[in-house]
A and B are shown apart, each in its own frame.
Chain A
Amino acid sequence: MTIPKVELKQVSKAFHGNGTTVQALADVSLRVMEGEFVTVIGPSGSGKSTLFNLIVGLLDPDSGDICLDGDVCANRAGRVGYMPQRDLLLPWRSALDNAIIPLELAGMSRDEAREKARAMLPMFGLEAFADSYPAALSGGMRQRAALLRTILTERDILLLDEPFGALDALTRRDLQDWLLKVWGRFGQTVIFITHDVEEALYLGDRVIVLSARPGRVVKSLTVELDRPRRRGMIAGGAFGRQMAELLEALGVTV
C-alpha cells in the first residue's frame, strides 16, 4: 500500500481566549494520496482554515498526529505550498517580485528568480502586469499572482484556501478551468477549500465535508466525473445526484 502524501490522525484543535474555549476541529482523520485533488467544504467557522494552518505547521494540534509523506510529522514549516484565504501579496513588491518570494527564501538570487518566474507569467496571464504593484491589479490577477507564488514554492503538496472565494461567478469559472489546466501540467497533490458545492464537485477527485463547529469529517465522496473536466458535465445526471448528496451532508434540505 502506498504512503499518503498528507495524513491526519484524529486531530483536534481548540482555541482559548477571553475566558472561552472554541473547539475548532474534533477528531479529524484524513488521508490524501499522491496526485490527488481533494476539495473540502463546510460551513463558515467549521475549522477549514484551521485545518490548513495545522498542516502547514503554523499551529500544532492539541491531540492527534499530522504527517507529510509518511514520516515528516514535526517541523512541517516550508514543506507545503500554502495559499491563504486572503491573497496576502506584499504591497511594496510588484506582482513578479511577490511571486519570487519562495525562490528568494530558498536562497536563489533575485535576478535568477525573476528570470524563472517571468517564464511562467504567460501561463498565469500576468505578463503585462509583471511590474505592477498589487494595488493596481484586479482581484482575479491578484489571486493568480498569489497562486503563482504558491506554485513557485515548488512543493508537491498545495493547500489552497478558498482561492476564488472573493471573485465574481464568471472570473471564477475561468480560473477553475485554468487551475485544472495548471494542475494537469504539474500534477501536485492539492487540497482545496471552498464554500461552493458546485466548485467542490467540478474540481475534485474527492470531496470532504466538514460539519459545523466543531468541525468533523461527515462525508468523503468520490467524484464520478471523468478527467479532463468539461463545463457540460455540470448538467449531467451524476453531477446533480452527487450535488444533492453533498448538500444533504451539509444539512441543507434538498
Chain B
Amino acid sequence: MSDSTEHRTRPPRWLREAFPPALLIVLAILTWHAAAVESGLASFILPTPAQVIAAGWETRAILGQAILTTMIETALGLGIALAFGILIAAAMDLSPFLRRALYPILVASQTVQILAIAPLLIIWFGFGLLPKVIIVVLICFFPLAVSTADGLASSDPDLIALLRSMGASRGQVWRMVRLPSALPAFFSGLRVAVTYSVVGATIGEWVGGSQGLGLYMLRSKNALATDQVFFAMLITSVLSIGLFVLVYLIERLALPWYYSAQRKEQWEETGIF
C-alpha cells in the first residue's frame, strides 16, 4: 500500500534518473558560455557553445563524410577484434599451454604506445582504411579477449559435473553451461571495447589519414578553428556513448535472466541505473 501511494506522488523513474545529469550539463554549458564571453578571450582560444554548434553546422557536408569514414573503420575494427578476441579466449580456455603462452603477449600488446605504432602502421599500410582498422583492433581486442576468457573460466564446475552425470557431451556442456555463463563478462568487455574504439579510429586518422573525424580535427586545429575541434570532440563522444548504449540495450535483451527483476531492484537501490 505505502509503496503505491509513494509511486503516485513521485515523478516517473526515467525523469528522476535523467534530471540530475541534465541539470549538470545545462549548468556546465551556461558556465562555459559565461566564461567565454566574460573572459574576453579570442574565439580561437575559447569559443562559446553557440559558435561550436554553428561551426559544426557550416561544415556539415565534410563532417558527414568524415563521420561515415570513422564509423566504417570503427565497425570493421570492432568486428575483427570480436572474432579474434573470442577465438583467443576460447583457445586459452581449451589449452592451459596456450593460456600461459598467450596471456603475457596479450598484456604486452596493450602496453605498446598507440601513438608510436600508429605512424609505423601508416608507413607499412598507407593512408587508407587498413592502418586505422588495425589500431581499433589493437585497442579493442584486449578487453574482449580477457573478459571472455575470465567469463569462460568462471563457469561453475558443479554445473558441469551435473551435466556430465546426465551423460552430456563436451559440446553440449559448452552450449548449455560454458557459453551462457561467459556472456555477462563478455558484455562488460564489449562495453569497454566499444567506448575506446571510436577514439582509436580517430587517432589513426590524426596520425595519417586522408579522411575521417581525426583528419577533420587535425585540419581544424591547424587552421586555428577551435570551434570545429570542439565540435568534432563532441561528435566523437556522442558516437562512443551511442555505441555504449547500443551494447547495453543488446545486453538487456540477450541476458534477461541477468537483469531479472530482483537484480534490477538492487541496481536501483545503488542508484546506478
**Residues of B close to A101: CB separation below 8 A:** 163, 166, 176
Min CB gap A18→B, angstroms: 18
Q: Closest Cβ of chain B: how far from A178's Cβ, in Å?
A: 23
The verdict on B123 contacting chain A, using a C-beta distance below 8 Å, is: no
B130-182 contacts to A, CB under 8 A, are 156, 158-159, 161-168, 172, 176-177, 180-181
- A136 to B264 Cα, complex, angstroms: 12
Which chain A residues border B124 with CB–CB below 8 Å? none
CA distance A92 to B74 in the complex (A): 31
Q: Complex: how many Å from CA A57 to CA B163?
A: 12
Question: How far is it, in angstroms, between the C-alpha of A102 and the C-alpha of B262 when the chains are bound?
Answer: 28
The 10 A-B pairs of least Cβ separation, nearest first, read: A78-B167, A56-B165, A92-B257, A92-B180, A133-B257, A82-B165, A133-B260, A88-B162, A102-B166, A105-B168
A105 contacts across to B, CB distance below 8 A: 163, 166-168, 172
* B interface SS class: helix
B261 at the interface (CB under 8 A from A): yes
Residues of A within 8 A of B168 (CB): 105
Asked if B263 is at the interface (CB within 8 A of a chain A CB), the reply is: yes
Q: Report B236-273 residues with CB < 8 Å from chain A CB.
A: 255-258, 260-263
Q: Which residues of B contact A135 (CB under 8 A)?
A: 257, 260, 262-263
CB distance from A223 to the nearest CB of B (A): 28
Report whether A136 and B255 are in contact in the complex, using a CB–CB cutoff of 8 Å. Answer: no
> What is the size category of the interface that chain B forms with chain A?
20 to 34
Residues of A contacting B163 in the complex (Cβ-Cβ under 8 angstroms): 101, 105
Residues of A within 8 A of B166 (CB): 77-78, 82, 101-102, 105, 153
- Count how many chain A residues have C-beta atoms less than 8 Å from C-beta atoms of the other chain: 24
Q: How far does the Cβ of B221 sit from chain A's closest Cβ, in whole Å?
A: 49
Whether the Cβ atoms of B158 and A84 lie closer than 8 Å is yes
Q: Which residue of A lies closest to B158 (CB)?
A: A88
* A78 adjacent to B260 (CB under 8 Å): no
- How many Å from the CB of B35 to the closest CB on chain A? 50
Minimum distance in angstroms from A57 CB to a CB of chain B: 7
> Given the complex, which residues of B lie within 8 Å of A104, measured CB to CB?
176
**Bound-state Cα–Cα, A86 to B260, Å:** 21
Measured CB to CB, the nearest residue on chain B to A91 is B257
Enumerate chain A residues within 8 angstroms of B158, measured Cβ to Cβ.
84, 86, 88
Residue A90 is within 8 A (CB to CB) of chain B in the complex: yes
